Amino acid sequence: MQTKKQNPALELIRRIRSSDFFVAYLFLLPAFAILFTFTLYPGFQLVRLSFRNTLLIRPTDMFIGLENFQRMFEDPRFWNSLGNTFIFVLLSVPLQMSIALLIALGLKIKVKGLAFLRASYFSPVVVSMVAVSMVWQFLYNPNLGLFNYFISFFGMDPVNWLRTSSSFLTPIWTSVFRPIIQTLGWSTANWEWINISTAMLAIVLLAVWKGTGYYMVIYLAGLMDIPEELYEAANVDGATTWQKFTKITWPLLSPTTYLILVLQMINSFQVFSSVYIMTGGGPSRKTEVIVFYIYNRAFESLEMGYASAIALFLFFLLLGLTIFQRTVVGSRVHYDR
């Protein structure tokens, strides 16, 4: 008797339904739906819009190729925002990493009230950045702010922290960097970001206070993972505290340091809320970072195509920096215990 040949596709569906894979995919479906709705689809739209002239102010949507990217590289405000972003990253990342490591080393010591201290240092992390920015905006107030109250004890005049475009580095810019740039025949207008403003320093100080606790917890977890036997052997050999740090602690913390460096670089390049609340990109665009400029182009000028091109550039910039860190820094990481 000749048996009826079954359809391979129906047989595959029957096997999937009768296996655990079908149930697993059902559980994964809500997560995939969220991922597709809020990540994959917006990412696809970002790439599409970056090659189009999309203006929300009037029904304009046409393919223009690479014109948005050409405009971006010729835009002085883009270069200014990119330079301000690099200034923020170069100031905030080393400060947060070093302070987080120092606090983690201090909190590793078993003292009374250790749990309260750890929670206190971590508490700024869980507070909304918008709320923190509004509070710090009051602290920076030139008339009633707490910072000016403290510096008055040293005989210093009140500082308009968030509205001052110059800083203590202005004489260096005027006497050193500006003459060198002029000698090379370049326009100093594209290099004004070197003159770090007091407003930018104020934004950096807020970022350090807000984010250090998060990286402190990661460093503390890395310190707890280092075997105590190594320190005991070092004590027997008569090693000093500095020798134990440089020969044991710091090398074995390299995976943690590498992780923190990657996370901080990505987060710092996306700074936005504190700038939006406290300075609005001022004064004189000294704090206009790249994400704030993307917001300005997209939701104030309503140039969604141009804003998408800048956002796509930021994505590839972060991707390139991450690959560079993986190649250069990651190769120096010690994973052995």
pLDDT at residue 166 is higher than 80: no
pLDDT value of residue 159: 81
Say how many C-beta atoms besides its own lie within 10 A of residue 117's C-beta: 14
Burial class (CB in 10 A: 0-12, 13-18, 19+), 311: buried
Question: Domains (ranges, CATH) in the chain?
Answer: 68-332 (1.10.3720.10)
Find the helix packing angle between 114-126 and 198-224, rounded to 10°. 130
CB 249 within 8 A of CB 157: no
Please give the average per-residue pLDDT across 119-128, as a whole number: 89
CA-CA distance, 26 to 101, in Å (whole number)? 43
* pLDDT (average), residues 45-70: 83
Which tens digit of pLDDT belongs to each residue from 252-305?
899 999 999 999 999 999 999 999 999 988 888 889 999 999 999 988 888 888
- For the purposes of burial, counting CB atoms within 10 Å of the CB of 189, is it exposed (0-12), middle (13-18) or buried (19 or more)? exposed
What distances in angstroms separate CA 302 from CA 1, 79, 289, 296, 321, one per listed residue? 73, 20, 18, 8, 29
Write out the H or E segment, with its range, that includes residue 53: strand 52-55
Written as one letter, the residue type at 156 is M
Tell me the pLDDT tens digit for each residue of 183-213. Answer: 877 766 666 656 678 888 899 999 999 999 9
Partners of 63 in the beta sheet? Answer: 52
Give residue 192's pLDDT: 62
Q: Which of 82, 63, 53 is nearest to 316 (CA)?
A: 82
Question: What length does the chain have?
Answer: 337
Q: Which helix (H) or strand (E) holds 60?
A: strand 60-63
Q: Mention every residue, 6+ apart, whose C-beta is less than 8 A from residue 177.
A: 191, 194, 195
CA–CA dist 152, 159 (Å, integer): 10
Q: pLDDT: is 127 or 334 the higher one?
A: 127
Q: Which residues of 203-225 are buried (b: 16+ CB within 10 A; e: fewer)?
A: bbbbbbebbbbbbbbbbbebbee
Q: Read off the pTM.
A: 0.84
pLDDT of residue 170: 64
The sign one gets for the Cα dihedral 138, 142, 144, 149 is positive
Averaged pLDDT for residues 119-125? 89
Note the pLDDT tens digit of each residue in 140-165.
Answer: 988 888 888 888 888 877 888 888 76
Q: Give the containing element (helix H, strand E) for 32.
A: helix 20-35
- State the average pLDDT for the chain: 85
Whether the predicted pLDDT of 51 surpasses 60: yes
Cα distances (Å, whole numbers) of residue 190 to 80, 82, 144: 7, 11, 36
Residue 1: the pLDDT is 47
Residues 322, 2: Cα–Cα separation, whole Å: 62
Contact 143, 149 (CB under 8 A): no
Closest CA to 142 of 210, 197, 198, 195: 198
